[in-house]
Structure 1
Amino acid sequence: MSTADASRGHRTPPGSRLVPALTIASHPQAQRVGERLLLEALAEGRQVLLSRNEPDFTRPGGALGMHLADPFLSRKPLVFAPGVEGRIRLEPGEGSRVAVGGEALRGPWELSAEEVAAGVPLELAGRVLLLLHLADASAREAVDALGMVGTSVGLQRVRQHITQVADLDVPVLIRGETGSGKELIAQAIHRHSTRRDKPFVSVNLGAIPRELAATELFGARKGAFTGAVRDQSGFFQAAHGGTLFLDEVGEAPPEVQVMLLRVLETGQLYPVGERSPIAVDVRLVAATDAHLEQQIHEGRFKAPLLHRLAGYTIRVPPLRERREDIGLLFHHFARGELEALGEAWRLRPEEPFAEPWLPPALAARLVGHRWPGNIRELRNVVRQLVIGSRNQPHLRLDAQLEQELALAKGAPPGRSATAQPVAEAPSRRKPSEITEPELLAALRENDWDFQAAADQLRIHRSSIYDLIDKSPNLRTAGELSAEEITRCHHECQGDLDAMTRRLQVSKRALGRRVKELGLGSGST
């Protein structure tokens, strides 16, 4: 593995070969986004000359290509020359306008191997944005049968993992940051498995109240608890013969972890209140953005369950490690938004002198953004930009997005914005650091939304329940008696918000209890 590769945390997929490359992230002809030029000559000690007339950019795996062709680009070439230890030297042609990481290039400049590995945006004449990065020379498709968009090394590795494990029946654990596309990977595994014609059931454990998790997953028998007026099937039974996807598996309560382990070991489950086991045939695919090893160390997750879940592990790269895919993903999402608005023609301009619909300066900010929310955040930004720029000739930032996409300032000329130090997200706190008054204040400020309170306190959602268990003055909705809920429902005239404030429990969990007791959904 090269130094540059190691700096980015890549494990090069077998059979691949990393070389410097230029990928089009923005162009007046939007359909050209995603085309690339491999700079293989640099590895052989030769220069590469880039102008509007040469060389040709092609789709990965394609045979026919075309030069950049924009009439506003200079005929004087930008020179890419090899340096020592993976460095690349840039030399602008006379009269050419080139910006590197948002800074005008006024003379020769050398980029380190680490900067190239991270991705360096090159803006040409305010018309075209190229990303200089490392590419897998063997990459073939930008959009494949798995439904994934991109050609980055990290995505190629994920594709290979899916292909290797999809037709097997082993459990799969998908690990990656929030919003990085873990459910899309689970769906791809199911579609390419022998279970493809059977159900795919997706469950977010972080969205299920802790006291109801066992019932929702494994079902319950009539009379098992107050409100269980009939037999109830769980998600495992719903997924029988197919695939069950458990997102945020790190949020599973301890009793559910024990039950999951039994299902994985025996293929049998016990519905709540049932003494006889039920056999289920389910392939389990789980996902998490949590540090499960740390949770094991803290006694909040069972090590045997992790070992069972991780029959095969797939790690999903965050979007900031696949910057060369951002232009493709942006236009992929934009196409859907434009079609809904009846403006899909914006991505099919015929006028060679047209202004780029996605201005290169804006594209550079998108490429340089850290994307803490990953693909989910990018999709939201695309929607905001497209809708906010309706009937405009090109996309424009509003004040809110301007602030969200603000990049680090004060970079030395020629330095990539992606290489600048960026403040990391606040680190997680230990639950033991949270006092009861602090916990209560966070819950009240967030209207007893446990996830919002956990985010504010910088702890995992499951820790909220642990802290409540240890707090003599706090309780969960599952601890409320049917009489207390019924009386409060009557006094608050069914207003669930008022009931939540009075009873001081999770609104979502209280709503479930109200429904189970047949009191009606109430006001939300």
Structure 2
Amino acid sequence: MSRHGPRDSLSPSGLAEVSTAVGDNPRVAASADEWVPALTLLSHPMATRAGARLLLDAVLAGRDVEVSRNGPNFTRPGEPFGQPLADPFVSRVPIVFSAGEAGRIRLRVGEGGTRVSVNGGLVTGCEFTREELAAGVPLDVAGRLVLLLHLSSRQVGAPSDTLGMRGDSQGIRRVREHILRIADLQVPVLIRGETGTGKELVAQAIHQHGPRQGRPFISVNLGAIPRELAAAELFGAQRGAFTGATRDREGFFRAAHGGTLFLDEVGEAPPEVQVMLLRVLETGELYPVGGTTPIKTDVRLIAATDSHLEEHIRDGRFKAPLLHRLSGYEVRLPPLRERREDLGELFLHFAREELEAIGEAHRLTPRDPYAEPWLPASLALRLLRFAWPGNVRQLRNLTRQLVIGSRGQPVLRLDPRLAGELETAVVETPVAKPPAAVARRKSTDITGEELLAALRQHQWDLKLTADRLGIPRSSIYDVIDKHPNIRRAGTLTAEEITACHQECEGDLDAMVRRLEVSKRALNRRIKELGLSTRGS
């Protein structure tokens, strides 16, 4: 398998062509132009929203994407419609995502907008490199929602629980593709992945979607069988073959006849078992321990390991021919830390199981939109930053402990022991960097058309407009005054403001768009007139 690093030339904004190792890394695309920035909800006050996604593909075309309380919609794979963030603590003033230089993504928050934090630091404008996007950037929004800014495929994924595996990351999509590609064939399969990544789940999916569905599926952990009994347990034994063999033993191979035999931790197989496995794979025959007559066997063999078998071969602990036979086709499972966009949905799935068991499933769908989220943003961020050395199995166990430990409480509480566990292995997260400096310009060089376009783009946020034009904030007023077609809030008449207030039903954002003046200055004039607004 070949490895491909991130390409140097990304078009149009440097984000569209990211390709990495096929099979070895979850961030794999069938073609480079599938890669787009995306936002995935990791946690939300309505906990069932976890896993919903918004593609920011318009950024690649040079257009800004504005995310606010009222839109756009976040959707799930397989669902045609979605919902906006729709939390009362999220402002109507949008969080704006745009293309920066050299493939970066810029994030900025309009004046008076929602509080956004990155790695514990409050930000109003920052940018992230394509490498940081590939790793994923956690965003704390209003102290209530956690989103992951990352790279995703433009292709629409299958429903997240397809083949029994939840998630929509590129890594888990790739695993599903492997399963469907290999399920109806008879070649041996070697599944590689760290402990707890779901290797047996993949083996079961291969079995269930192949022609042996409905026949035996036998799972054997070679690491749990005493070495002196491994051969007899796998291949069977005749009575009297060894001390204590008082009767014939069938063995797992014959028990799985016509079906699938899954050998987990195959790297732990003793040398004599490796020789016998190689013979079965080459001839389709086995010899029971103590037997002299070969027995035909019809078994689909799937093996799995979390070991580096190539190192075992160099150390003389594993036979190279056996590895070649076992890996007729390889499937590599991504660790959880490389598919962090799936973490929220996995946590939701495990939490729902535990909450239903204790009769508290209502925690996931609170009726009060102003209530504190059941999964606090601070805890969701800790889950997101944790490296999960035990992967999905560890996530499931920790979720169970959190749910049971918070039984009867309106909010999940993290006890000191679990808090300490989450500090043992932490993934480094990006630090927000300010946007690349714009070369300073003379205010006299800015045309009225350019000024008006910048003001409209940034919704009359004067600081962001000044940054975009490359002039000091103090100069923006002078530039506005030099262009008589661009008004200031102070020049509006009371009648004009009152009429607009009535037409827009007090919506401050709508008034700003209609009157095309600074939001802060307009709000000040509105208050002077004794009017109220419903904008953020």
**TM-score range with shorter-chain normalisation?**
0.7 to 0.9
**2:54 aligned partner, one-letter code:** L
Determine the C-alpha separation between the residues in 1 that align with 2:393 and 2:153: 25
In the alignment, residue 312 of structure 1 is paired with which amino acid?
A: Y
Which position in structure 2 is the counterpart of 1:170?
187
Shift of 1:5: 4.5
Give, as a single letter, the amino acid of the residue that structure 2 aligns with 1:26.
Answer: S
Tell me the amino acid that sits aligned with residue 20 of structure 2: A
The counterpart of 2:131, out of the listed 92, 104, 114, is 114
Q: What is aligned with 1:509?
A: none
Aligned to 1:353: 370
Report SS of the residue matched to 2:87.
coil
Contact 2:44 2:145 (8 Å CA) reproduced: yes
Confirm whether residue 282 of structure 1 aligns to residue 299 of structure 2: yes
| 2:336 is aligned with 1:306 | no
The answer (yes or no) to whether the contact 2:257–2:298 under 8 Å persists in 1 is: yes
C-alpha deviation, 1:413, in angstroms: 5.0
Alignment of 1:309-320 (within 5 A): 309-320=326-337
The CA distance in 2 between the partners of 1:410 and 1:233, in whole Å, is 51
Deviations 1:471-524 (A, max 9, x none): xxxxxxxxxxxxxxxxxxxxxxxxxxxxxxxxxxxxxxxxxxxxxxxxxxxxxx
For 2:258, which of 237, 241, 244 is the aligned residue?
A: 241
Residue 392 of structure 1 aligns to a residue in which SS? coil
Q: Find the aligned partners of 2:215 and 2:309 in 1 and give their Cα distance.
A: 30
Equivalence for 1:151: 168
Q: CA separation in 2, counterparts of 1:70 and 1:262?
A: 62
Report deviation, 1:50: 1.2
Code of the residue aligned with 1:371 in structure 2: it is W
RMSD between aligned residues: 1.9
Residue in structure 1 matching 2:105, options 88, 96, 103: 88
Alpha-carbon offset, residue 283 of structure 1: 0.4
Q: Which residue of 2 aligns with 1:12?
A: 28
Change (3 A) 1:411 1:343: closer
- 2: CA distance, partners of 1:408 / 1:304: 39
Distance in structure 2 (CA, Å) of the matches to 1:114 and 1:288:
30
Change (3 A) 1:13 1:393: same
With the length of structure 1 as denominator, give the TM-score of the two structures. 0.76
Structure 2 vs 1, CA of residues 179 and 240 (structure 1 numbering), >3 Å: closer, same or farther? same
| Deviation larger for 112-121 or 16-25 | 16-25
Match of 1:136 among 143, 153, 164: 153
Correspondence for 1:326 among 343, 348, 351: 343
Deviation at 1:332, TM superposition (A): 0.4
Match of 1:58 in 2: 75
Distance 2:427 2:160 in 1: 35
CA contact (8 A) 2:26 2:339 kept: no
Q: Which of 214, 218, 223 is equivalent to 1:206?
A: 223
Aligned equivalent of 1:42: 59
Deviation at 1:128, TM superposition (A): 1.0
Give the secondary-structure state (helix, strand or coil) at the position aligned to 1:236.
helix
Whole-angstrom CA distance in 1 between matches of 2:352 and 2:26: 30
Structure 1 residue aligned with 2:287, among 251, 255, 270? 270
Secondary structure, counterpart of 2:163 in structure 1: coil
Preserved contact between residue 103 and residue 414 of structure 1 (Cα < 8 Å): no
Partner of 1:195: 212
- Displacement of 1:14 in angstroms is 2.8
Provide the rounded CA distance (Å) in 2 between the counterparts of 1:334 and 1:62.
22
Tell me the CA shift for residue 400 of structure 1: 1.0
Structure-2 residue corresponding to 1:508: none
Preserved CA contact (<8 Å) 2:265 2:305: yes
CA contact (8 A) 1:92 1:105 kept: no
Q: Which residue of 2 aligns with 1:103?
A: 120
Partner SS, residue 240 of structure 2: coil
Structure 2 equivalent of residue 250 of structure 1: 267
Higher CA-based Rg: 2
Q: 1:292 to 1:272 in 2, by over 3 A?
A: same
The one-letter code matched in structure 1 to 2:207 is H
How big is each residue's C-alpha offset from its partner over 1:230-273, in whole Å with a ceiling of 9 and x where there is no partner? 00110001100000000000000100000000000111111110
Task: Give the AA of the match of 2:258.
Answer: G
**Distance in 1 between residues matched to 2:317 and 2:368, nearest whole Å:** 60
In the alignment, which of 206, 224, 243 is matched to residue 226 of structure 1? 243
Q: Is the 8 Å Cα contact of residues 114 and 142 (structure 2) preserved in structure 1?
A: yes
User: TM-score by structure 2 length?
Assistant: 0.75
Structure 1, residues 384-443: CA drift from partner, whole Å, max 9, x if none? Answer: 10011111111111111111112769988527xxxxxxxxxxxxxxxxxxxxxxxxxxxx
Q: 2:379 maps to what in 1? A: 362
Q: Aligned residue for 2:500?
A: none
- Whether the aligned pair in 1 keeps the contact of 2:88 and 2:369 (CA below 8 Å) is yes
Deviation of the 1:98 alpha carbon = 3.5
Q: What displacement does 1:274 show?
A: 0.4
Partner of 1:72: 89
> Secondary structure, in 3 states, of the residue corresponding to 1:105?
strand
Cα distance in 1, alignment partners of residues 72 and 404 from structure 2: 36
- Three-state SS of the structure 1 residue aligned to 2:394 is helix
User: Which residue is equivalent to 1:32?
Assistant: 49
1:487-498 equivalences under 5 Å are none
CA 1:59–1:123 in 2, change beyond 3 Å: closer, same or farther? same
**Residue pair 1:358, 1:395 contacting (<8 A) in 2 also:** yes
Aligned residues: 415
Instruction: Kindly state the Cα deviation for residue 334 of structure 1 after the two structures are TM-superposed.
Output: 0.6
For the pair 1:126 / 2:143, whether they are aligned, the reply is: yes
For 1:293 and 1:303, locate their aligned partners in 2 and report how far apart those are by CA, in whole Å.
Answer: 8
Mapped contact 1:13–1:156 kept (Cα < 8 A): no
State whether residues 357 and 395 of structure 1, in contact with CA within 8 Å, keep that contact through their aligned partners in structure 2. Answer: yes
Q: Deviations over 1:187-231 (max 9, x none)?
A: 000000100010000000001111111011011100001100000
Q: Could you say what secondary structure the match of 1:334 adopts?
A: helix
Q: Deviations over 1:305-352 (max 9, x none)?
A: 000000100000000010000000000011111111011111122322
The reply to whether residue 414 of structure 1 matches residue 432 of structure 2 is yes
Partner of 1:313: helix, strand, or coil? strand
- Which residue in the other structure is 1:503 paired with? none
| Structure-1 separation of matches of 2:119 and 2:360 | 30
Q: Which runs of 5+ in 1 are unaligned?
A: 416-524
C-alpha distance in structure 2 between counterparts of 1:266 and 1:334, whole Å:
47
> Does residue 343 in structure 1 map to residue 353 in structure 2?
no
Whole-angstrom CA distance in 2 between matches of 1:273 and 1:290: 31
State the alpha-carbon separation in 2 of the partners of residues 9 and 218 from structure 1.
Answer: 36
* Structure 1 letter corresponding to 2:94: P
Secondary structure of 1:58's counterpart equals coil
- Residue 59 of structure 1 aligns to a residue in which SS? coil
